[in-house]
Structure 1
Amino acid sequence: MSRRQIQASDSSWAHLRRTRTEGAHRDLLAADPRTTAIARIAAHRGFSWPGHFAAHYRGTYKISPRTTLHLHT
């Protein structure tokens, strides 16, 4: 694989992860914290490991998924 192919692949992966994270963010804001599992939202958006999702989410939004889930209550 050429360097250019690797860079394109990395960009595609970053775009996919960003898109999934943005979708999860919208889902968390719209969800009922009494009945919603963060792991279920993460899995629905394609994240296999809830802990990795939470770390990436926190790095992106500077707050935890749990905090986001409880913002509208």
Structure 2
Amino acid sequence: MIFIYLFIYLFIIIFNLSSKKKSTYILTIFQKYPKTEVLFLKFSLFFFFFCFCFCFILLEKNCKIIEKS
């Protein structure tokens, strides 16, 4: 479900960049569907948090492997 919103959001951005009415089109989309922006922000925060945790776990495992050897 989140990926669908992300795809829609990216499609809106791409379509907005290719259209001549740049600022007005994207603003009307977010006025009609404000939840898409909020969901995208939540998803991006969750994604960065997940990446940070994953990298931290990998670093911790690598440090343990180095300490053992």
TM-score when normalising by structure 1: 0.42
Instruction: Return the index of the structure with the highest Cα Rg.
Output: 2
Q: Which has the higher helix share?
A: 2
